[in-house]
């Protein structure tokens, strides 16, 4: 039994390519309502539905210029059904501006019993129905995030095999519903481990993920992978340069990711905006990159804009200009052409 008919494969290929076209990446604006608390707290705004709508209005309604460096935007369920001040749904704004709308479909992390604070991610129940509805409502891609922790004895076999399998099941269901999955096995940056340790673990985690994708027949040409850059843990005293981070990251990916996958997009994981851009740019200057290496940043695209905006209508224009400026820097970094 074929996994997907040819025309469905082609549709997924086309969507994936649009998201990571040269010079473009993804704006992650899919914070759950709980995570939005942190964003709004930065500017002392109450976390309610209307304030979240205003925040998304600032980020998402940037006009046609947005599509110069943003190929797609990941939304949270609530935002997919919200409207801008002009009464037009955010999804329409994105479509009209040439940005592909996507949707976070996981339902968050839950503990793995008996493990050392490790987690899996829930949300497979009714996922097919939700995906079918999201496709009708204008989404063309999805995201699902799993998290893995580096501690003395983790990530364990239990966590790696469970998270790889749930990501593959999610990817399969998403593709069956004509949505390109963004598969995110995030290795969290907390800890005092060095960059060598992160690389070793990244290679292991990716090996489990690729194995599960193969078992579930997932169509590699019609998905994107979202990973953290290979960096030392936040508390590691030895810090690395952008060139070192680039070469460790690229080597881990080269060893584990088949060239059939069209693109790998990085999360920013709490890095400073300029740091994230410099690392991405350094990677795109190195040889042997069979996939597009691009961005799917939340914080590294939003932070300065949020601080400029501060919830005030009169600052909206300046905030949007800042977001577009940073998107442009990252767009150039996907080509290895950013000059700091």
Q: CA separation (Å) from 107 to 66, 98, 144, 159, 321?
A: 29, 28, 9, 17, 33
Shortest distance in whole angstroms from residue 309 CB to ligand 13P: 17
Shortest distance in whole angstroms from residue 144 CB to ligand 13P: 9
What angle in degrees, to the nearest 10, is found between the helix axes of 33-42 and 299-309?
50
Query: By three-state DSSP, how is residue 143 classified?
Result: strand
Shortest distance in whole angstroms from residue 288 CB to ligand 13P: 25
Residues in contact with ligand 13P by the rule CB under 6 A: 28, 145, 184, 267-269, 297-300
CA 1 to chain centre: 32
Q: CA separation (Å) from 251 to 119, 197, 202?
A: 27, 13, 10
Catalytic hit among 184, 199, 273, 322: 184
Catalytic hit among 57, 118, 226, 273: 226
Shortest distance in whole angstroms from residue 269 CB to ligand 13P: 4
Which is closer to ligand 13P, CB of 15 or CB of 228? 228
Q: In the chain, at which residue ranges do the beta strands (DSSP E only) sit?
A: 25-29, 70-75, 100-104, 109-111, 119-121, 141-148, 180-187, 224-227, 263-266, 292-297
Shortest distance in whole angstroms from residue 322 CB to ligand 13P: 16
Shortest distance in whole angstroms from residue 15 CB to ligand 13P: 18
Query: Pick from 254, 256, 100, 258: which is nearest to 180 by CA?
Result: 100
Which is closer to ligand 13P, CB of 270 or CB of 311? 270
184 catalytic residue (yes or no):
yes
Which is closer to ligand 13P, CB of 108 or CB of 111? 108
* Torsions phi, psi for 292 (to 5 deg): -70, 140
What angle in degrees, to the nearest 10, is found between the helix axes of 157-176 and 127-136?
40
Q: For tokens 């970094």, what's the residue?
A: 333
Which is closer to ligand 13P, CB of 4 or CB of 66? 66
Which is closer to ligand 13P, CB of 71 or CB of 269? 269
Query: By three-state DSSP, how is residue 295 classified?
Result: strand
Q: Strand 292-297 and strand 25-29: pairing?
A: parallel
Which is closer to ligand 13P, CB of 131 or CB of 229? 229
Percent composition of the chain: helix, strand, coil (DSSP 3-state, to 5) = 50, 15, 35
User: Catalytic residues, which ones?
Assistant: 184, 226
């Amino acid at each position: 039994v074929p996994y997907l008919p040819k025309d469905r494969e082609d549709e997924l290929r086309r969507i994936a390519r649009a998201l990571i076209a040269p010079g473009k990446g993804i704006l992650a604006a899919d914070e759950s309502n709980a995570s939005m608390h942190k964003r709004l707290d930065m500017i002392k705004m109450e976390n309610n539905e209307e304030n979240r709508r205003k925040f998304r209005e600032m980020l998402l309604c940037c006009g046609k210029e947005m599509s110069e460096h943003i190929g797609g935007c990941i939304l949270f369920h609530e935002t997919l059904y919200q409207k801008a001040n002009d009464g037009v749904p955010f999804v329409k704004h994105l479509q009209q501006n040439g940005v592909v709308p996507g949707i976070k479909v996981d339902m968050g992390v839950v503990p793995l019993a008996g493990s050392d604070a490790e987690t899996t991610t829930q949300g497979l129940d009714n996922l097919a129905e939700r995906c079918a509805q999201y496709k009708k409502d204008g989404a063309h891609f999805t995201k699902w995030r799993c998290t893995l922790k580096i501690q003395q004895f983790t990530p364990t076999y239990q966590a790696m095999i469970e998270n790889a399998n749930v990501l593959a099941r999610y990817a399969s269901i998403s593709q069956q519903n004509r949505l390109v999955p963004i598969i995110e096995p995030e290795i969290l940056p907390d800890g005092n481990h060095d960059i060598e340790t992160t690389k070793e673990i990244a290679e292991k985690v990716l090996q489990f993920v690729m194995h599960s994708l193969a078992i579930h027949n997932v169509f590699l040409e019609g998905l994107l992978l979202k990973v953290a850059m290979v960096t030392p843990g936040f508390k590691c005293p030895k810090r690395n340069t952008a060139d070192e981070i680039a070469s460790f990251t690229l080597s881990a990916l080269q060893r584990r990711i088949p060239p059939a996958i069209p693109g790998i997009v990085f999360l920013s994981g709490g890095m400073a905006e300029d740091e994230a851009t410099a690392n991405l740019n350094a990677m795109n200057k190195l040889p042997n990159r069979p996939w597009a290496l691009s961005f799917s940043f939340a914080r590294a695209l939003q932070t300065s804009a949020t601080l400029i905006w501060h919830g005030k209508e009169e600052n909206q224009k300046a905030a949007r200009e800042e977001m577009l400026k940073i998107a442009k820097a990252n767009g150039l970094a996907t080509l290895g052409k950013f000059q700091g």
